[in-house]
């Protein structure tokens, strides 16, 4: 059987290597190579999805010895938690590379970095060896740093450095936790399947390992007060970089929270679940109120990411604490689905804000206005994505958030105060729509062009998925539930 997980994992890297070999390649050719490589990767991800996952454990596992003396191996595979994120990653990178086809400056380097980042991002989700996971985790930092620093906006150097230092220093505690899990296992192993099946640590050692993991993943999610790198990175990153950062890389934190903290230190997590829950609730509310105060569209969307990722943290914390298997599965199903829906909806919002900035050269809502009349396709696309982000029934966020809140109500009724975040989010997006899209357009915007074919090709898959997940969430939940029901 063809090792599709490995083929899909390394296809983008093959495209990046080709671009390195072809030194004087024109920008159009570089973009064509990037789009073809990411398109083939998306086809591979669909193939993996079609093969499906088993009810328990990992499926489509591929394993080759790497450093046998210490038990490190190339181990990859998928389950119901990682498979939707692999497909999401492939979709978002394809969309980002299609949108980026207009970039002329150092196009070969840009596309090569994006493809390297795609391999590393998929690697985070399919890795079944803790050291392999950490390697992919770190490579993503380097790739995104250069994308922000090389192709970002005016303050890109400071934002890139802030992003790199926060996430690099934040990842070091995870390495210590991995070493603790290795030393506590018998026999010593970095095999994540073994560490999940038989968690090796208990007592104080498990608590210390969990705290180390929580620091790393809190930076990556990000959770208040470790979120301060995020708005600057989003605002200064190129549009495609913001799509990938929000849609894919923030999920490394929540995925790690499930894969490492929840599955490898379950008892310690249970004892600290209420603390994690409190941080999740506060982050969700803080992100909503901070977004309400913004006048810059991109910064507004960036803070709503803090809000929505806070809901995921709440769902995972409830799953860790719940004694009732029904409540546990409900909350965890919602948390994983929220990861997927956030990637789709927020990816679309950043894409559309980037289109507005390309035309108006501003993101200030007070300087815009009347865009629904001037650029109706772009305007209504933003309205659809905004309604999805505020949790409108029938769109992507609603089924995920509803399950999280329902699971929370069954375990920690007082924590349902987090629902206030939805009310605030609704207010801020209605305010944004009124300021930027309704009314009469200023004279200088009346000649603005609507979305072209390339932009429509980039936005259409995300908008279609926004509706599909909202109307038929069972398409994704069926895969997720095969794994979560057995945890």
Q: Choose between 176 and 106: higher pLDDT.
A: 176
Of 398, 376, 377, nearest to 387 (Cα)? 398
Helices and strands counted in the chain (H then E): 21, 2
- On the question of pLDDT at 364 being above 90, the answer is no
Please give the average per-residue pLDDT across 19-25, as a whole number: 86
State percent of the chain over pLDDT 70: 100
Q: Choose between 332 and 23: higher pLDDT.
A: 332
Q: Choose between 44 and 24: higher pLDDT.
A: 44
d(CA 432, CA 369): 10
Predicted structure pTM score? 0.93
DSSP assignments along 235-268, one per residue: HHS-HHHHHHIIIIIHHHHHHHIIIIIIHHSHHH
Of 320, 467, 437, nearest to 369 (Cα)? 437
For residue 294, count CB atoms less than 10 angstroms from its CB and return exposed for 0-12, middle for 13-18, buried for 19 or more. buried
- On the question of pLDDT at 119 being above 80, the answer is yes
Q: What is the pLDDT of residues 288-306, one digit of tens each?
A: 999 998 888 888 998 998 9
Task: Output the pLDDT for position 419.
Answer: 84
d(CA 199, CA 179): 14
Q: Choose between 448 and 206: higher pLDDT.
A: 206
Is the separation of the CB atoms in 431 and 341 below 8 Å? no
Q: Provide the terminal-to-terminal Cα distance of the chain, rounded to the nearest Å.
A: 28
Task: Output the pLDDT for position 324.
Answer: 83
Over the chain, what is the mean pLDDT? 90
CB neighbours of residue 68 within 10 Å: 8
143-146 contacts, C-beta under 8 A, 24 or more apart: 143/113, 143/114, 143/116, 143/117, 144/117, 144/241, 144/244, 144/245, 144/249, 146/113
- 463 preceded by cis ω (within 30°)? no
d(CA 76, CA 291): 38
DSSP state of 66: E
Of 224, 227, 203, 214, nearest to 171 (Cα)? 214
d(CA 272, CA 295): 37
Q: What is the pLDDT of residues 252-294, one digit of tens each?
A: 999 999 999 999 999 999 999 999 999 999 999 999 999 998 8
- On the question of pLDDT at 153 being above 80, the answer is no
Q: What is the pLDDT of residues 309-338, one digit of tens each?
A: 999 999 999 999 888 888 889 999 999 999
175-179, 184-188, 415-419, 423-427, range with the lowest pLDDT: 415-419
- On the question of pLDDT at 487 being above 80, the answer is no
Is the separation of the CB atoms in 320 and 264 below 8 Å? no
Q: What is the pLDDT of residues 401-421, one digit of tens each?
A: 999 989 998 888 887 788 888
- On the question of pLDDT at 478 being above 80, the answer is yes
Q: pLDDT band at residue 186, thresholds of 50, 70 and 90?
A: confident
Task: Output the pLDDT for position 218.
Answer: 92
Please give the average per-residue pLDDT across 459-473, as a whole number: 94
Is the separation of the CB atoms in 223 and 250 below 8 Å? no
Task: Output the pLDDT for position 165.
Answer: 84
d(CA 157, CA 135): 25
Task: Output the pLDDT for position 32.
Answer: 93
Task: Output the pLDDT for position 22.
Answer: 86
Chain centre to alpha carbon of residue 155: 23
Q: Residue 268 has which token pair?
A: 């310690």
Task: Output the pLDDT for position 205.
Answer: 93
Please give the average per-residue pLDDT across 98-108, as a whole number: 87
Task: Output the pLDDT for position 16.
Answer: 93
């Amino acid at each position: 059987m063809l090792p599709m997980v490995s083929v899909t994992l390394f296809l983008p890297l093959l495209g990046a290597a080709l671009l390195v070999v072809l030194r004087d390649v024109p920008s159009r050719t570089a973009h064509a190579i990037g789009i073809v490589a990411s398109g083939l990767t998306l086809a591979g991800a669909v193939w993996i999805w079609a093969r499906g996952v088993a009810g328990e454990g990992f499926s489509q596992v591929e394993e080759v010895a790497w450093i046998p003396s210490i038990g490190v191996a190339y181990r990859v595979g998928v389950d119901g938690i990682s498979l939707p994120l692999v497909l999401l990653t492939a979709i978002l990178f394809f969309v980002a590379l299609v949108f980026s086809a207009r970039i002329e400056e150092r196009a070969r380097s840009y596309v090569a970095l994006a493809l390297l980042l795609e391999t590393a991002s998929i690697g985070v989700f399919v890795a079944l060896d803790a050291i392999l996971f950490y390697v992919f985790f770190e490579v993503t930092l380097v790739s995104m740093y250069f994308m922000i620093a090389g192709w970002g906006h005016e303050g890109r150097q400071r934002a890139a450095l802030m992003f790199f230092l926060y996430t690099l220093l934040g990842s070091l505690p995870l390495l210590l936790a991995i070493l603790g899990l290795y030393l506590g296992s018998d026999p010593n192993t970095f095999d994540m399947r073994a560490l999940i099946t038989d968690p090796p640590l208990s007592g104080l050692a498990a608590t210390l390992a969990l705290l180390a993991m929580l620091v790393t993943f809190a930076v990556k999610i990000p959770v208040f007060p470790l979120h301060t790198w995020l708005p600057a990175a989003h605002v200064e990153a190129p549009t495609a970089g913001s799509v990938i950062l929000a849609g894919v890389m923030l999920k490394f934190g929540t995925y790690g929270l499930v894969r490492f903290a929840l599955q490898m230190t379950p008892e310690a997590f249970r004892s600290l679940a209420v603390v994690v829950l409190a941080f999740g609730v506060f982050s969700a509310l803080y992100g909503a109120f901070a977004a309400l105060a913004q006048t810059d569209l991109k910064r507004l969307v960036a803070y709503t990411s803090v809000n929505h990722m806070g809901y995921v943290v709440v769902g995972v914390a409830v799953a860790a604490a719940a004694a009732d298997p029904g409540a546990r599965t409900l909350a965890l199903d919602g948390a994983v689905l929220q990861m997927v829906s956030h990637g789709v909806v927020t990816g679309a919002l950043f894409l559309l804000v980037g289109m507005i900035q390309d035309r108006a050269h501003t993101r200030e809502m007070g300087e815009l206005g009347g865009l629904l009349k001037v650029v109706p396709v772009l305007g209504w696309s933003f309205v659809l994505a905004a309604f999805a982000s505020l949790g409108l029934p029938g769109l992507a966020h609603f089924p995920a958030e509803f399950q999280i809140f329902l699971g929370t109500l069954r375990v920690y009724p007082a924590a349902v105060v987090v629902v206030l975040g939805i009310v605030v989010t609704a207010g801020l997006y209605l305010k944004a729509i009124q300021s930027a899209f309704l009314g009469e357009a200023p004279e200088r915007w009346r000649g603005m062009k609507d979305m072209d074919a390339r932009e429509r090709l980039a936005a259409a898959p995300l908008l279609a998925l926004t509706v599909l997940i909202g109307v038929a969430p069972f398409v994704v939940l069926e895969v997720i539930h095969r794994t979560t029901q057995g945890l």
